[in-house]
Structure 1
Amino acid sequence: MFVRTAGERDLDAIRAVLVETWHATYDAMYGAAKVTEITDEWHSIASLKARLIKPNSDFLVADDGKRIGGVAFAESVDGGKTVVLRQLYVLPSLQGRGIGGMLLDEIIESFPEAHAIRLEVEARNTRAIAFYEANGFVRSGDAGEHAGASGEPTLVYRRPLADLS
């Protein structure tokens, strides 16, 4: 797999990755119907297309030339000092192979002026939490700005980045 910038031609494949990953992760927690409702709204082609042109952001895919195996989307806030990782998903069949780490590394490299990267994660998504903690993130709060799929506040994780000042 190699990581590259997402393009409009990738949107159907990106949506497929997100839908499959969300169902694999959240069906047991929230039920398939709720997950379908969420993915239809949050991961619609129109919603994904808007991310392609969002200022101060980067939308990446992990691609092996035949399929897209993972996606990541992040944007800078606070005048570029903080990167907010909005999405990082890898197909369930490809998890544990370093693809998530490749996407995360490329996101960080895309924002060289940033001092920290922040994300929100569902409290019951223990696999994602373990991944982020293994990659240097530390829990910094539990009242994220967004409610998770359950309607409960998400957990906030943060990782300092090299201070370039």
Structure 2
Amino acid sequence: MFVRTAGDRDLVAIRALLVETWHATYDAIYGADKVTAITDEWHSVASLKARLAKPNSEFLVAHDGKRIGGVAFAEAVDGGKLIALKQLYVLPSLQGRGIGGMLLDEVIESFPEAHAIRLEVEEQNTRAIAFYEANGFVISADLGEHAGASGEPALVYRRPLAG
């Protein structure tokens, strides 16, 4: 797999990856109907296309020449000092092979002025939490913007960056 910037030609495949990954991850937490509703709204081709042109952001895919195996989206906030990681997903069949780490590294390299990276994660998404903790993230006292299945804010993790 290699990591590159996403383009228009990738949007249908990115949507398919997000739908598959969200169902595999969140059906047991939210229920399949709610996951379908969320992915239809958040991961429509039009919604994804808007991210391609968003200023101060990076939209990446991990690709092996035949298919997209992972996707990440992040944006610089707080005057570029903080990276807000909004998405990092790897196809369930390809998880555990280093693709998520490659995407995370490329996101961080895309924002050389940043001093930290922040993300939100559903409390019940233990696999993602384990991944982030293994990659140096620690839980933050910050409140999340998004509510989890319980209606409680998502967990917020931060990682300082060398700067």
Interval containing the TM-score (normalised by the shorter chain): over 0.9
Residue 116 of structure 1 contacts residue 158 of structure 1 at CA under 8 Å; is this kept in 2?
yes
| Structure 1 partner of 2:75 | 75
**Partners in 1 of 2:140 and 2:115 — Cα distance?**
15
**Partners in 1 of 2:108 and 2:147 — Cα distance?**
25
TM-score after normalising by structure 1: 0.96
Deviation (angstroms), 1:145: 1.4
**Partners in 2 of 1:150 and 1:15 — Cα distance?**
26
Report runs of 4+ in structure 1 exceeding 6 Å deviation.
Answer: none
Amino acid at match of 1:122: E
Structure 1: which 5+ runs fail to align? Answer: none
| Structure 1 partner of 2:48 | 48
TM-score after normalising by structure 2: 0.97
Residues 16-165 of structure 1 correspond to what in structure 2 (within 5 A)?
16-141=16-141, 143-163=143-163
Structure 2: which 5+ runs fail to align? Answer: none
Residue 30 of structure 1 contacts residue 150 of structure 1 at CA under 8 Å; is this kept in 2?
no
Residue 85 of structure 2 contacts residue 118 of structure 2 at CA under 8 Å; is this kept in 1?
yes
**Partners in 2 of 1:70 and 1:29 — Cα distance?**
22
**Partners in 2 of 1:43 and 1:160 — Cα distance?**
29
Residue 29 of structure 2 contacts residue 149 of structure 2 at CA under 8 Å; is this kept in 1?
no
Residue 18 of structure 2 contacts residue 89 of structure 2 at CA under 8 Å; is this kept in 1?
yes
Task: Say which SS state the counterpart of residue 141 (structure 1) adopts.
Answer: coil
Identity of aligned residues (%): 86
Residue 83 of structure 2 contacts residue 114 of structure 2 at CA under 8 Å; is this kept in 1?
yes
**Partners in 2 of 1:56 and 1:150 — Cα distance?**
32
**Partners in 2 of 1:152 and 1:34 — Cα distance?**
17
**Partners in 1 of 2:111 and 2:151 — Cα distance?**
31
Deviation (angstroms), 1:29: 1.1
Structure 1 range deviating more: 117-126 or 133-142: 133-142
Deviation (angstroms), 1:152: 2.5
Amino acid at match of 1:61: V
**Partners in 2 of 1:81 and 1:20 — Cα distance?**
33
**Partners in 1 of 2:154 and 2:101 — Cα distance?**
22
**Partners in 2 of 1:148 and 1:46 — Cα distance?**
24
Deviation (angstroms), 1:150: 4.8
